[in-house]
Amino acid sequence: MDWKAPLRPAELTEHRLIEAILDGHFAINSHLPPERELAVQLGVTRPTLREALQRLARDGWIEIQHGKSTRVRNYWEEGSLGVLGSLARNQHPLPAEFIPNLLSIRTLLAPTYTRLAMELAPGDVQILLTALCEIPDKKEAFARADWTLHYRLTVLSGNPVFTLILNGFKDLYARMAKLYFSYPPARIRSRSFYQDLLKAVEQGNPQAAQEVVKVMMEESLSLWRIASHQNGETL
C-alpha cells in the first residue's frame, strides 16, 4: 500500500494559495490581502502563512515586497522550474494547454537523451527494450513500463539534468499515463514504438533511434488529445 504522509500546515497553505492563483481568485498582477487578514481567511497562524509565502516566492508565484502588498507574479513569465513542479504535484485542474505544452517539451528532450543513452550504454538500452516488448496489454503495465523506459534512458544518457527534469513530473506522469494508456490505440502504438526502437539499438544506429523517438513523441501528443477527449477527463 502506498502510504503518504499528511501535508504539513505550511504545505497545505501553499497548495491552497496555488489553487487560488490558478482559478483566478488571486489573479496575475493582483495583490494578496494583508498578512493578518489572509491568515484568518486561510485559518492558519501567521508563522505558517509566512512559511508558505516564502516557498511561493522562491518558486516565482509571488513577489514579496517589504512595506508593500505581496504581488501575484505572472508565473508563466516570471516563474522558475519550481512552478512546473508545483503544477505537477497540485491536484487542481491544470491549465488547458499545460499537458500539450509539456508533451511538446518532451518531444525536444526525449530524442536527445535516447541517442546519448545509446551511445554510452547500448547494451543496457537493449536489455531494457527487450523486456518492454513483452508487457501485458493493460494500461497499468504500460504506464509503469513507459515511465521506466524514459527514466532509465535519462540516467543512461550521462546527463543528470534530464533525470532531474523528468523526476519533477513523476506524479503527473503517472496520472497522465493512466489516462493515455486507457486508450487502446495508444498501447498498440507504444508497443510498436518499443519494437522499432529495439531494432535501431540492435543495428547500432543512435541516429535512427533518435528519429524513432522523435516521431513517437510527436504522435503521442495527438494520441493524448484523443484519449483525454474520449474519456472526458482533465488533469
CB-count burial class (<10 Å; 0-12, 13-18, 19+) for 5: exposed
Element (H, E) at 181: none
The percentage of residues in the chain with a pLDDT greater than 70, rounded to a whole number, is: 93
pLDDT of res. 48: 95
Q: Residue 88 corresponds to which cell in the numbers above? A: 505537477
pLDDT at 192 over 80: yes
Give the residue-averaged pLDDT of 212-216: 95
Q: Where do the domains of the chain lie, and which CATH numbers do they carry?
A: 9-89 (1.10.10.10), 98-231 (1.20.120.530)
pLDDT tens-digit map of 105-124: 899 999 999 999 999 999 99
pLDDT of res. 1: 37
pLDDT of res. 145: 94
Q: Give the model's confidence band at 153: pLDDT under 50 very low, under 70 low, under 90 confident, else very high.
A: very high
pLDDT at 91 over 70: no
**Cα separation, 54 vs 95, whole angstroms:** 24
Q: Give the model's confidence band at 128: pLDDT under 50 very low, under 70 low, under 90 confident, else very high.
A: very high
Specify the residue for cell string 496555488: 18
Cα pseudo-dihedral 166, 169, 172, 175, rounded to 10: 20
**Cα separation, 196 vs 2, whole angstroms:** 34
Q: Residue 179 corresponds to which cell in the numbers above? A: 489516462
Give the residues across from 72 on adjacent strands: 62
pTM beyond 0.75: yes
pLDDT of res. 3: 43
Give the residue-averaged pLDDT of 132-155: 93
What ranges in the chain are assigned the alpha helix state H? Answer: 9-22, 35-42, 46-59, 75-78, 81-89, 98-120, 122-132, 139-156, 160-167, 170-180, 184-202, 206-231
Element (H, E) at 31: none
Q: Residue 158 corresponds to which cell in the numbers above? A: 550521462
**Cα separation, 146 vs 157, whole angstroms:** 17
